[in-house]
Structure 1
């Protein structure tokens, strides 16, 4: 691992390209409304600023920029390789409303580079907080205080305690064994993991009796080497309690609001009746979250903060949620009305099933769905179930006209897919209607790019040929089956979201 300038942070291998829907402005806005906090979502032609700290290769920031051409997007990372990758994709797609900045977040606040960053309406940090030292975290707080506008929303994801408690020893073992091994950080992580597996095989108590450590050792076998090196080989890696993160954010006048994972905001879905009874003894939200974290295996938190929370009454919250529009991101035959949650299997009642089925037919305003049941259902519950179950997303723009920037980025992303065996994690496609990305695996990116290039889905044989170059002949029928299923299920969604032409 290079240490001359990285100060123990993994910088000799690029992080995985990733799109995480919790970073989207609509998810931050929904978290605020679920937390009874007022929001100011930009109108379709309004300008806004989205700032991502620790952007990695910049996939999330690129999707935001391409989906919102009137916005300014600024993406900051310490690793010049990440900046080069993101800036290269922006050039290839001719996206000129995004700027990539290579900077040390410990020193960025107050610098000449920081002076060029607009005050942000939305800020996101995915994973960064857990992988940097105290000096960088302090620099982040200074930057947030200076660059988050009043009313602005901040998303922070991080490895959470106490759920990560059982994995702390494993990370230390992998790290210490790794830094004593030659090669890049990905090879060092593999050396550390090999030692962990050997100790587990020898029935080392920690790796056999700690369920998290035991499961992590097994799970890492199928994870990308890039992810593992960044997760386990950062010198300052440290999971955190929610209360400590909230206290740090308070120094930037940021109030914790809710989770960007909507279902987590409903104790009835997360906790048993007995656990809710204990939690309900407390009104303080920080204490309630600590009790919730004591009851849930929540290893990664997605918290949303607001700089200056304007509190809403329940009726005001419900009225605001009723104005939201949702669009389906799965086909109608994929509708799930039974959802597995920590408290058990949640089965939707008949009124909610009717509203969910109606939502699957196309864009629908939450208020109109509620009218199907005389408006007696809980608006926050309805939208959280639809969005939290990954069956709908919130539409930032109801007209959803395609932006040229979105088309160009989607063509670039799809043009990089040359095999059905490619396995980039959590890829996406830009959507003007969503105002963010649609989660899309490489195959769907490939299909979207071909459709944007003027081809039709009856070209399937040429698509199969293009995707099968490195697939053995006896597997070509499997490729055909997978491609045809993707065309049948995903292309109607792409057309409904106007990501591809009709």
Structure 2
């Protein structure tokens, strides 16, 4: 029996999201900060790739050979079509984990990524994957894994069970022949949400002792139904503590490397002084991370796990950090020096962050050593630069940059994948990311800017022409009413809005997209 038959919510597709933590290049900076030598990335694997947006972006944007599986046939078919259009070497299948993990034609891997699935699969499948990692991950290789965790999910566990119970009863009692499966699922999800809201409205004792419950239930009602289906209504769903995950992965030969969430590497935005002092006095990694999760009430962990990690001495660590390259991915004037951590929103000082951003304002790749040379007279040291760059990458202001040889290798397949995604924008805006061969990662570019890029590909050179091209596409296939792109399709003002947007795109965003190798 496949995972799809054994607990996943059937009849409704998952979202077309992109997960940047699945980008192997992203692991380099946090591992170096932790004193761990990053692996050379030749082969990589994503388990449970959904629609394959991430795996296709990373395959097209790098020289790494990618493999992967997703047990939903429609997901896998969509992902395979993207691979064909990009002409990358990704090998993607629609096998169950049991089938995929048993294959004898797979290489060993330097990187294995899993986004979320660890929480949503059965104990049997977790054991299969743990054994697969033991057998197929190279020494020094890295596993990225995100998963729902305690204590942040503790309050919502009974709510999830209540919704799931109502969903199952509703599905059993209200089967409608001839109604599409996706419509039925969405109807049952909406009914379950309404039911839970009605329960909370009666002020049950559980809500009284958990006063934030009503607010969290209200927030659920605003979520995408496709996300809710897979997050809350799978048969198997188990938020696990860090210590439980550590035990599950021990037989795979893995040890905890560090957090894949860049913001976690700056304690000042996440922990108060007393908490930082408490954690500093806990030598055991498992206990320390478990206590840290209590301190910030974490509901999702994003972790790097290492097989046989090789530690770096201080000189090697400093040399590798100075060689690390980044680039500014936003207009310098648009950067807001705000970052959100567990303690809330923090303001980053212009006096120290501004010079670092100014050193990158030309949107060209720069080594941390280059930044260090530019800001040395300001008294800004390498340790501070590393911390600042980490926060700015975590905020999406900066992107990590791969080596020039890899950039050139990635350009053809990146261009083909971007062309395919932009062509799809004529009909819909499901995929809102394009790949940069410079960073090897996905860059958020919504449907309307994709249409502008497609117009340029079709040799329309003026912003007014791009606007007219986009207007025609949006008239034929309008955007959903809840779109966040802020473009009306009303005939009274659509053209003026689109022309203004196209002019701004040409002036501000296009130069950056050219620097990123996207335009």
Q: Same fold (TM over 0.5)?
A: yes
Deviation at 1:192, TM superposition (A): 1.1
| Alignment correspondent of 1:266 | 266
Residues in 2 aligned to 1:224 and 1:208: alpha-carbon distance in whole angstroms = 27
| Alignment correspondent of 1:472 | 490
Q: Secondary structure at the match of 2:375?
A: coil
Q: Tell me how many residue pairs correspond in the alignment.
A: 486
Q: Secondary structure at the match of 1:350?
A: helix
Residues in 1 aligned to 2:211 and 2:305: alpha-carbon distance in whole angstroms = 32
Residues in 1 aligned to 2:404 and 2:3: alpha-carbon distance in whole angstroms = 50
| Alignment correspondent of 2:241 | 241
| Alignment correspondent of 2:168 | 179
Once the two structures are superposed, residues 400-424 of structure 1 have per-residue CA deviations (whole angstroms, 9 ceiling, x without a partner) of: 44622111111111111237xx664
Deviation at 1:94, TM superposition (A): 4.5
Which residue of the other structure, out of 24, 45, 56, is the alignment partner of 1:62? 56
Q: Secondary structure at the match of 1:472?
A: coil
Deviation at 1:85, TM superposition (A): 1.4
Once the two structures are superposed, residues 289-331 of structure 1 have per-residue CA deviations (whole angstroms, 9 ceiling, x without a partner) of: 2222112143221111111111123443232111011011111
C-alpha contact (below 8 Å) 1:164/1:299 kept by paired residues: yes
| Alignment correspondent of 1:366 | 368
TM-score in terms of structure 2 length: 0.87
Query: Are 2:9 and 1:10 equivalent residues in the alignment?
Result: yes
Once the two structures are superposed, residues 228-260 of structure 1 have per-residue CA deviations (whole angstroms, 9 ceiling, x without a partner) of: 111111011111112211222222111211111
Point out the more displaced range, 465-474 or 232-241.
Answer: 465-474
Residues in 1 aligned to 2:498 and 2:210: alpha-carbon distance in whole angstroms = 40
Once the two structures are superposed, residues 246-292 of structure 1 have per-residue CA deviations (whole angstroms, 9 ceiling, x without a partner) of: 22222211121111111202222211111111111112222222222
Distance 1:186 1:484, change over 3 A: farther
Query: Are 2:517 and 1:498 equivalent residues in the alignment?
Result: yes
Q: Any gaps of 5 or more consecutive residues in structure 2?
A: 176-183, 479-488
| Alignment correspondent of 1:142 | 131
| Alignment correspondent of 1:307 | 307
C-alpha contact (below 8 Å) 1:23/1:126 kept by paired residues: yes
C-alpha contact (below 8 Å) 1:318/1:380 kept by paired residues: no
Q: Secondary structure at the match of 1:74?
A: strand
Q: Secondary structure at the match of 1:181?
A: helix
Distance 1:350 1:255, change over 3 A: same
Distance 1:186 1:146, change over 3 A: farther
- Where do 1:340-419 residues align within 5 Å? 340-344=340-344, 345-348=346-349, 350-362=351-363, 363-374=365-376, 376-378=381-383, 379-398=385-404, 400-401=407-408, 403-418=411-426
Distance 1:292 1:479, change over 3 A: farther
Q: Any gaps of 5 or more consecutive residues in structure 1?
A: 43-47
Distance 1:78 1:276, change over 3 A: same
Q: C-alpha root-mean-square deviation of aligned residues, in Å?
A: 2.4
| Alignment correspondent of 1:324 | 324
C-alpha contact (below 8 Å) 2:29/2:324 kept by paired residues: no
Query: Are 2:94 and 1:102 equivalent residues in the alignment?
Result: yes
Q: Secondary structure at the match of 1:157?
A: strand
